[in-house]
Structure 1
Amino acid sequence: MKISNKIKFLAIIIVLGMTSSCSLEDGESLNGPQTTSISEGISRPELPQVVAGILSNMRDRIHTQRDVLSVLGREYWVLQSSDPGWGTELAAGLLSDGSFFINNPYAERYATVKECNLLLQSLEAESTQTIFTTNEIAAIRGFANTIKAHQLLSVLNMVYQNGIRTDVADPDNLGPFESYDAALTTIMGLLDSGFADITTGGEVSPNTLGVTYSEFNRAITARVAMYQGDNAKVLNALADSFMDMTGDLNAGAYLIYSAAGADQLNQLFVALNSPTAGAKVAYPDFVDPASFEAGDTRVNKAVARTGGEVCLAGMCGTHDVWIYQSNIDPIGLIRNEELLLLYAEANMVSNPGEAEAAIDVIRAAGGLGAVGAGNVDEDRIIYERRYSLFGEGHRWIDMRRFGRLADINQDYDRAGDLSPVPSQFPIPQSEGQ
């Protein structure tokens, strides 16, 4: 993928959130936004603008990516009468290398990676090194590598075994595609080096995530370590994250939105009882009493429609997705609830008592009783993650990593929809693969 040499850093911040989406629907390329580069050096006044711009751009097309992952995981349907592809392509399992379902999130995540790379490049400039101390440069580098790792992981989760390019700093000399396992190793390396740099240099400003960059780094590290099957690394990372067994399960790292000026709105929000021109309805199995434990209030993330069932192209639902109650609600990148689930999974075999304690905290918040000794196993982890992390982009990935995509209930699919659901997206055709 060719990503431009010049990125709109300063323009992004002057009008925060005005970053253009690299939308192939509109005929644009994957080359990312273009404007003045700061690769030749960065000043103190520019640094907070660049940092804020990177955080802002992390929001671009996250709504598309979350919707795509949720449809594949049979968490909910996206009903858009103006775009039948949500049913004819995505829900049907016909994943194309020319579809905006992969191309748009892919482009935006790499655009943010490019911004991080330009920031990293600016740190090598003599002018930068005369302005900032060694520790300050370490802090900036730690921030950039942490965000870069997160964005690369977001792409990798979509294309899986097809792999990704992790070395894209030089658009005229792109690195090769790395396999899934190799890319995870590279991402882990970025996270570990980022954490070391932040530990040495401290935090950069601004930070609108809601947790420190160090804590965010270690939280994402725990997620990656779990994908690698490294339970010891999961637990070590969680110890330095914001995990809190007695804290708010919703505490964590968030992307923020507002209706002010030219800022972005949360496009994952959809009003209750919306028509088929733009509704999101829970996959019927999610709200089936046979699927969840009686009294589990987490099922209330889907709310019964007052008008009853709504259908479009054979995709039907009686409950609206109700994770976000307004178009300025923040979108969680990783929450305390997920960290407790990772803690439980990492302890499941070696220290079952700790696993049960973590699961019990989550169940209590969901209106359920204790899980009981000896009852935390893979099935338990899958159930708790399904209802705790509904609509947050995990179920498809979880069922894939457990080798259980065939266990995703597709009883409410249409005739002809692929079963089991596909495991990965193809590499976008723009990559020339």
Structure 2
Amino acid sequence: MKISNKIKFLSILIVLGITFSCSLNEGESLNGPQITSISEGLSRPELPQVVAGILSDMRVDMETERDVLSVLGREYWHLQSSDPGWGTELAAGLLSNASFFINRPYTARYATVKACNILLESLEAESTTTIFSANEIAAIRGFANTIKAHELLSVLNLVYQNGIRTDVANPDNLGPFETYDTALTTIMGLLDSGFTDLTTGGDVSPNTLGVSYSEFNRAIAARVAAYQGNSAGVLSALADSFMDMNGDMNSGAYFRYSAAGADVLNPLFIALNSGDTGAAIAYPDFIEDPSAPAFEAGDNRLDKVVARSNFPVQLELAGMAGAYDVWIYQSSTAPVGIIRNEELLLLYAEASMVSDPDGAADAINAVRSAAGLLPVVSGTVDEDRIIFERRYSLFGEGHRWIDMRRFGRLTDINQDHDRAGDLSPVPSEFPIPQSEGL
């Protein structure tokens, strides 16, 4: 079943005045009697509901995506007795097109894309253009294209060279699969047009990210430019982002959680010393192996893991024993970073290491100072340094597998603690989900 045939999307339930997501089964209408679509026009009361709903939908199955990326990058093992596939399939490198490891985040991200497309469609309606000014419509369009670009990039990061569909606005006439490089270009185009619109129209309400939508747009654009190997593009985007050389490493854009009302709790929060019902165990060489290339004593970024008081039995039996819990999120309402100042500084250093060695060192040293480490000397920032700092600064945030792949160094991921039979090196991409019928 293709993504157009079964997909969650954002709609407005006018009677109750709330937003929600639903699953569409084969042949079910997007405009069924239980919902009223906004595609034929958007009202002012509906706009904040739609925006809040899209931001909420971005969080759906985010935890699956983060855990999958982290396991593949050998940042941590995810233990789940209810689904041993985390060890027998994912950690083993057996990436199936039928597994939930790809299907759940794939479907969730395209659901948000669908919501953005419905919002964009509503902007073409005469009733919408009568209610909203041209600048307001530009702001809404900029928001929708920015979020759409982020979601498409998330899918592309999983399937890599297998490519993605970027044109899914018409479920009866889906666009073709684009190659990795072409899809990056398309995503950057969405970000650039979105930034132009946001510059014209300003921010949209509500905004719970923590930075303006235009700053978020440019931060994601810098990430995309880095994937493209476009250093000038990275620096240009960062100039209009929230990057601050003297700022807090943790400032940036976040997913928010709470125990209030119909909101949800942080699904990545796992209590310390959890057993086989759910645990995230740091890959041993993150902290235990001083001889490993990526280790530096005194680094306070090591506080992202905490020594366990016991080992879960199933983990040991599976051959994946570790002594440290992942402890990035220390409460069930802790926010989850989408993109932070620390990543932007590291992108700046990466983009500047050839053209501006002093600037690259300044950015690296801002990160290292915050980590309690001594500075590096100008001219010594190279690919190895970037990989080293990114591993510790962005631990558990879904970057290491992508980073090692884009630098052509998947074979450098330490698999010394893997089990006999696990694939080495780790695979580079997921297959296109079976639901696409390919």
Q: TM-score range by the shorter chain?
A: over 0.9
| Letter of the structure 1 residue corresponding to residue 353 of structure 2 | M
Alpha-carbon separation, structure 1, partners of 2:391 and 2:371? 13
Query: 2:11, 2:21 within 8 Å by CA — same for their partners in 1?
Result: no
Query: Hey, what does 2:168 align to over in structure 1?
Result: 168
Query: Hey, what does 2:303 align to over in structure 1?
Result: 300
Aligned length: 427
Corresponding residue SS for 1:10: strand
Q: Tell me the alpha carbon deviations over residues 225-254 of structure 1, each in whole angstroms, 9 at most, x when there is no partner.
A: 000011011001000000000010000000
Query: Hey, what does 1:177 align to over in structure 2?
Result: 177
Alpha-carbon separation, structure 2, partners of 1:70 and 1:219? 22
Query: Hey, what does 2:11 align to over in structure 1?
Result: 9
Corresponding residue SS for 2:306: strand
Query: Hey, what does 1:356 align to over in structure 2?
Result: 361
Query: Hey, what does 2:291 align to over in structure 1?
Result: 290
Indicate the larger mover: 70-79 or 311-320: 311-320
Distance apart, 1:290 and its partner CA: 2.8
Alpha-carbon separation, structure 2, partners of 1:346 and 1:378? 10
Query: Hey, what does 2:139 align to over in structure 1?
Result: 139
Q: Tell me the alpha carbon deviations over residues 330-356 of structure 1, each in whole angstroms, 9 at most, x when there is no partner.
A: 111000000000000000111010000
Corresponding residue SS for 2:321: strand
Alpha-carbon separation, structure 2, partners of 1:421 and 1:415? 13
CA pair 65-21 structure 1, distance change in 2 beyond 3 A: farther
TM-score w.r.t. length of structure 1: 0.95
| Letter of the structure 2 residue corresponding to residue 55 of structure 1 | L
Distance apart, 1:58 and its partner CA: 0.3
Alpha-carbon separation, structure 2, partners of 1:175 and 1:271? 43
Alpha-carbon separation, structure 1, partners of 2:47 and 2:21? 18
Query: Hey, what does 2:151 align to over in structure 1?
Result: 151
| Letter of the structure 2 residue corresponding to residue 103 of structure 1 | N
CA pair 420-120 structure 1, distance change in 2 beyond 3 A: same
Query: Hey, what does 1:324 align to over in structure 2?
Result: 329
Query: Hey, what does 1:346 align to over in structure 2?
Result: 351
Query: 1:203, 1:213 within 8 Å by CA — same for their partners in 2?
Result: yes
Alpha-carbon separation, structure 1, partners of 2:13 and 2:110? 18
Please report the RMSD computed on the Cα atoms of aligned residues, expressed in angstroms: 2.0
User: 5 Å matches for 1:111-150?
Assistant: 111-150=111-150
Alpha-carbon separation, structure 2, partners of 1:84 and 1:230? 40
CA pair 65-365 structure 1, distance change in 2 beyond 3 A: same
Corresponding residue SS for 2:77: strand
| Letter of the structure 2 residue corresponding to residue 353 of structure 1 | D
Query: Hey, what does 1:371 align to over in structure 2?
Result: 376
Alpha-carbon separation, structure 1, partners of 2:13 and 2:329? 29
Q: Tell me the alpha carbon deviations over residues 33-73 of structure 1, each in whole angstroms, 9 at most, x when there is no partner.
A: 98431111100110010000000000000000000000000
CA pair 114-367 structure 1, distance change in 2 beyond 3 A: same
CA pair 90-154 structure 1, distance change in 2 beyond 3 A: same
CA pair 124-360 structure 1, distance change in 2 beyond 3 A: same
Distance apart, 1:307 and its partner CA: 2.2
| Letter of the structure 1 residue corresponding to residue 298 of structure 2 | G
Indicate the larger mover: 133-142 or 6-15: 6-15
Query: Hey, what does 1:218 align to over in structure 2?
Result: 218
Query: 1:194, 1:217 within 8 Å by CA — same for their partners in 2?
Result: yes
Alpha-carbon separation, structure 1, partners of 2:124 and 2:23? 29
Alpha-carbon separation, structure 2, partners of 1:32 and 1:399? 43
Identity fraction in percent: 73
Q: Tell me the alpha carbon deviations over residues 258-298 of structure 1, each in whole angstroms, 9 at most, x when there is no partner.
A: 11122111110100000122111000011123331111111
Alpha-carbon separation, structure 1, partners of 2:344 and 2:179? 26
| Letter of the structure 1 residue corresponding to residue 103 of structure 2 | N
Unpaired segments of 5 or more residues in structure 2?
none
- Please state if 1:314 is matched with 2:316: no
CA pair 8-232 structure 1, distance change in 2 beyond 3 A: closer
Alpha-carbon separation, structure 1, partners of 2:168 and 2:55? 20
Query: Hey, what does 1:69 align to over in structure 2?
Result: 69
Alpha-carbon separation, structure 2, partners of 1:327 and 1:363? 29
User: What stretches of structure 1 move > 6 A for 4+ residues in a row?
Assistant: 31-34
Query: 2:184, 2:228 within 8 Å by CA — same for their partners in 1?
Result: yes
TM-score w.r.t. length of structure 2: 0.94
Distance apart, 1:32 and its partner CA: 12
Alpha-carbon separation, structure 1, partners of 2:8 and 2:75? 39
- Please state if 1:97 is matched with 2:97: yes
Corresponding residue SS for 1:316: coil
- Please state if 1:414 is matched with 2:419: yes
Alpha-carbon separation, structure 1, partners of 2:74 and 2:111? 29
Query: Hey, what does 1:202 align to over in structure 2?
Result: 202
CA pair 126-182 structure 1, distance change in 2 beyond 3 A: same
Corresponding residue SS for 2:424: coil
Indicate the larger mover: 244-253 or 260-269: 260-269
Distance apart, 1:315 and its partner CA: 1.3
Alpha-carbon separation, structure 2, partners of 1:138 and 1:369? 46
Corresponding residue SS for 1:9: strand
| Letter of the structure 2 residue corresponding to residue 96 of structure 1 | S
Corresponding residue SS for 2:427: coil
Unpaired segments of 5 or more residues in structure 1?
23-27
| Letter of the structure 2 residue corresponding to residue 107 of structure 1 | T
Distance apart, 1:187 and its partner CA: 0.1
Distance apart, 1:375 and its partner CA: 1.4
Distance apart, 1:20 and its partner CA: 5.4
